[in-house]
């Protein structure tokens, strides 16, 4: 497909990763939400995968950071630059048509934060920008029939937030946005290793530990990983071997906070919809769904069956694509976001 023929773009604007969907082509971009900026001339040097390579490795004159914090814009100018990069990447710099852009936002954002996302997208090159709450898009992407008169529960575990919502008749009945997600998991692992072994590790190493051997519940057959960091007593590099059950121990507080948020939403849910959720179970989406045995942990702690969606990382962006492709069907849902 020629770049200038891209008329609609769906964007899952995440704290950790940004995914882009183009109708007819599917998911075309999946890159880290990282921007590298030169302090000297205030210029954007790299975005996405190239910028992530710089994390923890930049000189004093360059800052590589996430422009979104807890799912909302922390740096407006840098977020605009990141959006421009992704829009240009799929539709080309010399485009004849400015695309319509659909962007996901956390359920708990304020009207000011919502406006900031729309303004950033327009300035980045969108003709029109629409925002829909992440739990709705995640549910659509997970093929949950959101327009039926039945209760459906989605738990979207992202990088900055966990979005939990009960959906019925195309709208959110009860929801919360917990400030716990993949980034907090990484930080908890780094803090645990620092506290227990006096070893400082970077956020990329912590993320690798989580992905390779992380587990939400203790396992009988443990896995191990060798990591390298800086010894806090001597200041020299040191190698350490860490086990999967140690990672489980490190994540306990964050997982407990997430479970409490799920309980809070269930307590606010009308009885009829609660009965539906008991029958059908809860669906987990988002990158955090990849943490081993997280479905088993939630099932055990809540007492309600819990299932992981197909391709959980892609649910939100696929939902955005579905809304773009069937705009009239979801028009009422979009209008509710205004």
Q: How would you classify the pairing of strands 100-105 and 8-13?
A: parallel
Separation between Cα atoms, residue 86 and residue 274, nearest integer Å:
40
Distance of CA 167 to the CA centre of its chain: 19
- SS3 per-residue string spanning 204-253: HHHHHHHHHHCECCCCCCCCEEEEEEEECCCCCEEEEEEEHHHHHHHCHH
pLDDT per position as a tens digit, 12-42: 988 888 999 998 888 999 998 889 888 888 8
Domains of the chain, start order: 3-136+316-335 (3.30.420.40), 142-180+252-312 (3.30.420.40), 193-250 (3.90.640.10)
Separation between Cα atoms, residue 139 and residue 309, nearest integer Å:
9
Separation between Cα atoms, residue 116 and residue 132, nearest integer Å:
14
Separation between Cα atoms, residue 44 and residue 21, nearest integer Å:
24
Backbone angles phi, psi at 57, to 5 degrees: -130, 10
pTM: 0.89
Each residue's pLDDT tens digit in the chain (338 positions)?
A: 344 467 889 999 888 889 999 988 889 999 988 898 888 888 888 888 888 888 777 788 888 888 888 777 888 888 888 998 898 888 876 667 888 899 998 887 888 888 988 999 999 888 989 888 899 999 999 999 998 999 999 999 999 889 999 999 988 999 998 999 999 999 999 999 999 999 999 888 999 999 999 999 999 999 999 999 999 998 999 999 999 999 999 999 999 999 999 999 999 999 999 999 999 999 999 999 999 999 999 999 999 999 999 999 999 999 998 888 888 887 776 655 55
Q: Is 111 helix (H, G, I), strand (E, B) or coil?
A: helix
Q: Give the C-alpha distances (Å, rounded to integers) separating 177 from 124, 147, 160, 266.
A: 27, 22, 10, 13
């Amino acid at each position: 497909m020629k770049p200038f023929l891209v008329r609609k773009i769906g964007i899952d604007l995440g704290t950790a990763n940004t995914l882009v969907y183009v109708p007819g082509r599917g998911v075309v971009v999946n890159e880290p939400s990282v921007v590298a900026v030169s302090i000297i001339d205030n210029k954007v040097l790299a975005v996405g995968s190239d910028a992530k390579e710089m994390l923890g490795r930049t000189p004093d004159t360059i800052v590589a950071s996430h422009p979104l914090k807890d799912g909302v814009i922390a740096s407006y100018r840098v977020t605009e630059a990141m959006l421009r990069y992704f829009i240009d990447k799929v539709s080309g710099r010399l485009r004849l048509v400015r695309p319509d852009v659909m962007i996901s936002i956390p359920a708990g954002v304020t009207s000011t934060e919502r406006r900031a996302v729309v303004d950033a997208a327009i300035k980045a090159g969108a003709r029109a920008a629409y925002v829909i709450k992440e739990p709705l898009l995640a549910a659509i992407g997970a093929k949950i029939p959101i327009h039926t008169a039945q209760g459906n529960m989605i738990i979207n575990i992202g990088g900055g937030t966990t979005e939990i919502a009960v959906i019925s008749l195309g709208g959110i009945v009860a929801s919360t946005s917990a400030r716990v997600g993949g980034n907090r998991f990484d930080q908890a692992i780094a803090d645990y290793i620092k506290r227990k072994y006096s070893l400082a590790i970077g956020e990329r190493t912590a993320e690798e530990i989580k992905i390779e051997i992380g587990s939400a519940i203790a396992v009988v057959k443990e896995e191990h990983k060798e990591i390298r960091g800086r010894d806090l007593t001597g200041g020299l590099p040191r190698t350490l071997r860490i086990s999967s059950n140690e990672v489980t121990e490190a994540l306990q507080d964050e997982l407990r906070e997430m479970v409490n948020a799920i309980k809070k939403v269930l307590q606010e849910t009308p009885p009829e919809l609660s009965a539906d959720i008991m029958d059908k179970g809860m669906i987990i989406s988002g990158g955090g769904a990849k943490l081993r045995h997280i479905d088993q942990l939630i099932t055990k702690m809540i007492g309600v069956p819990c299932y992981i969606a197909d391709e959980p990382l892609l649910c939100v962006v696929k939902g955005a694509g579905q809304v773009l492709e069937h705009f009239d069907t979801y028009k009422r849902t979009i209008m509710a976001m205004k």
